[in-house]
Structure 1
Amino acid sequence: MSSSTSPIILFYQTTTKDVYIYFGSTLLITGIIGELLNLIIFQTLRVFRESPGVFYLRIMSLSNIGQILVAVLFRTLNYGFQINLLRSSWICKMREFLVHFCALVSLTSICLATVDQYLSLTRPNLSQMKYSYRHGVIMIVLWLLHNVPFLIYCDMVSGSCRNSSTTFSTYANYFIWPVLLGCLPVAIMLIFAILSYISVRRISKAQINTTRLSHERQITSMVLVYVVFIIVLSLPCILYSIYALNPPYTDTESTARGRLIYGLLSFFYYESYACSFYIYCCVSKRFRKQLLYVLFEVHLKRWRKAFGQLQQNQVGIQQITSTTN
């Protein structure tokens, strides 16, 4: 850092580094723990395993973990701790491929979950596990093929990972980011989340199948509130990124300020991939009870039983050994 750097620029640079260190580290820990707990609960309880909508949420949690690792971890190490993992061409290619793949899969999954939730309330025959499996496979294959150009055109240029194709760079900047990762999923989530909420209210007034209604209301409230958080957390970063495609930076101070603003907004954006578990817990009392049941009544007892059997086996082996001697 130059000794001639002005105090305001030094402040921007230091604050940006602190943002990446503290926000990034916190997001990494809380995000991975939360998404792992989601997977444990969704996979343990039969009511979730047999739910087509929750099948999409499981895929979303897996892709969220991938997004946190390949996006947040790399950015935190690079800008916070000055540890640059992007030192080779293949790491650059794989990171860009996986960042966009995980983001697209995550957003598509929550979109499919909102659509399925609406169908489960209005047309249950269209909300079935067989359809969810098909849609999941199609989604994964589609985004794998769609992101192949990142493996071809991304490379290390002047020490940074960049897109070497002007055409594909234009497509990524003006379609993938604002449309596929912005306007389109937001519109789908909003429309079907609202339709699901209206359907739940209608069924509740009609007093139809209260057991089924309780489960559907739980999933609907979880998905609906999470959708709201995704929109609130991600839109500022998306809008700023579009604005910064042609940045009006005329000096070093403007550049440093822009990096600080983008750093803050990007962590709000990535928080949308890390907060689902905590939102589910806040929104649904039933989910909190299911969490405690899974952790303490199912897995803790299972671990205690396994540990007890291991101790008994060790005691048995010691007794046999002493008798033999």
Structure 2
Amino acid sequence: MSTASFTFISSQFSIYVGFSIFTLGIFGNLINLRLLFPLRKNPSSFLLFISSFFNLIALSFGLLPRILSIGFAIDASLTNLIWCKSRLFFSYNGTITSIICICFASIDRFFVSCRSVVWRNRSNLKTAKLVILITIPIIIGINIPYLLFYTIVQTKTDAGNITRKCTTTNSGLILYGNYFVRPVLIGLLPSTILCITGCLIYRNINSIASIQLRGTFQRNLTSMVFIQIITFIIPVMPFATINIYQLLTSSIQKSSYRLAQEMLVSDTTNIILYISYAANFYVYLISSSSYRRDFLQFILFCSNQNRSNNHVHPLPGVQFTLNQMSTIQQFPRVTH
């Protein structure tokens, strides 16, 4: 297989798989915003709502430009300095903030699954808002160097042609992105947190004496946690692996054929990574019966609006079914 074949495969994969992930992700996260908005006073739902918002940013600034660049050779960052400086800034802000919100939501679910009233009281909306207000400025701050140091670099080839690349000549920023942002903040750290909190939640559920609490929690909350952990870890691990591999082999002299192979793997894993930001709605839809009911009622509500020429009618029962997602908060508390 020639190097041109690797480029063609990468291009086709980006177009068909990438656009599918982007379309489904935009649709799913918009529906998430609509269904989770009435529950924004619940800590976990509030965090998932914020995560869905930043998923839209991650998909728009991270995935879509990558699809256009790899699949259609359209890259505005090569000609527009503002886009060159801001694309990675917004993309990393979206991806990292979304991941952190999911981690905080999993920690909140661990708190509400504890038998101790002291631990359960740690789950509250005020705390959730506080951690978000602290976290977002920190994430913006750590990504500001991309705004400052990224620029369009022109190089002249041996044939006399001028090529442009949106990159940085700051070696410290290169090391920061290669060794910390991509492998740690986007890969290893959130995966570790979600695995630990998932195991702790499962342990807490098995120790709960109430059959009613156990069944409700497993159906509407725990299944969402574990499926979301799986849909996060599976796409992230190949991305983290190829980044670590490229770091370990960066000093090795490589042939053009090997470089083309690595580029294919890198492009593929970068596209697959965005499943983590596109699959939330479908995870909730599969794992939660109350979420399915809310979605169906939303569809019926939209259909009724169309039939009645945009006259708004009340939708009985929507708030009740949405609140079933937070039913764990309503059970009697048991202290040690």
Smaller-chain TM-score bracket: 0.7 to 0.9
- Paired-residue identity, %: 27
Measure, in 1, the Cα distance between the counterparts of 2:32 and 2:139: 23
Normalised TM-score (structure 2): 0.82
Larger Rg: 1
Q: Which residue of 1 aligns with 2:265?
A: 261
Amino acid at match of 2:32: N
Q: Which residue of 1 aligns with 2:53?
A: 62
SS in 2 for 1:50: coil
Question: Which runs of structure 1 show a deviation greater than 6 angstroms over 4 or more consecutive aligned residues?
Answer: none
Aligned 8 A contact 1:200 1:217 in 2: no
Normalised TM-score (structure 1): 0.85
Asked if residue 148 in structure 1 is aligned to residue 144 in structure 2, the reply is yes
> Number of residues paired by the alignment?
296
Q: Which residue of 1 aligns with 2:88?
A: 96
Amino acid at match of 2:30: L
Amino acid at match of 2:130: R
Moved more, 123-132 or 214-223: 214-223
Aligned 8 A contact 1:249 1:255 in 2: no
Asked if residue 75 in structure 1 is aligned to residue 66 in structure 2, the reply is yes
Q: Which residue of 2 aligns with 1:41?
A: 35
Task: Please state how far the C-alpha of 1:137 moved relative to its aligned partner.
Answer: 0.9
Measure, in 1, the Cα distance between the counterparts of 2:241 and 2:33: 31
Structure 1, unpaired ranges of 5+:
1-6, 310-325
Q: Which residue of 1 aligns with 2:223?
A: 221
> For 1:107-146, what aligned pairs fall within 5 Å after superposition?
107-122=99-114, 123-146=119-142
Q: Which residue of 1 aligns with 2:198?
A: 193
Q: Which residue of 2 aligns with 1:32?
A: 26
RMSD: 2.0
SS in 1 for 2:166: strand
Task: Please state how far the C-alpha of 1:305 moved relative to its aligned partner.
Answer: 4.7
Amino acid at match of 1:62: F
Aligned 8 A contact 2:231 2:275 in 1: no
Measure, in 1, the Cα distance between the counterparts of 2:246 and 2:76: 25
Q: Which residue of 1 aligns with 2:42?
A: 51
More helix by share: 1
Measure, in 2, the Cα distance between the counterparts of 1:218 and 1:266: 31
Measure, in 2, the Cα distance between the counterparts of 1:220 and 1:157: 49
Asked if residue 17 in structure 1 is aligned to residue 19 in structure 2, the reply is no
Task: Please state how far the C-alpha of 1:275 moved relative to its aligned partner.
Answer: 1.0
Structure 2, unpaired ranges of 5+:
155-163, 313-336
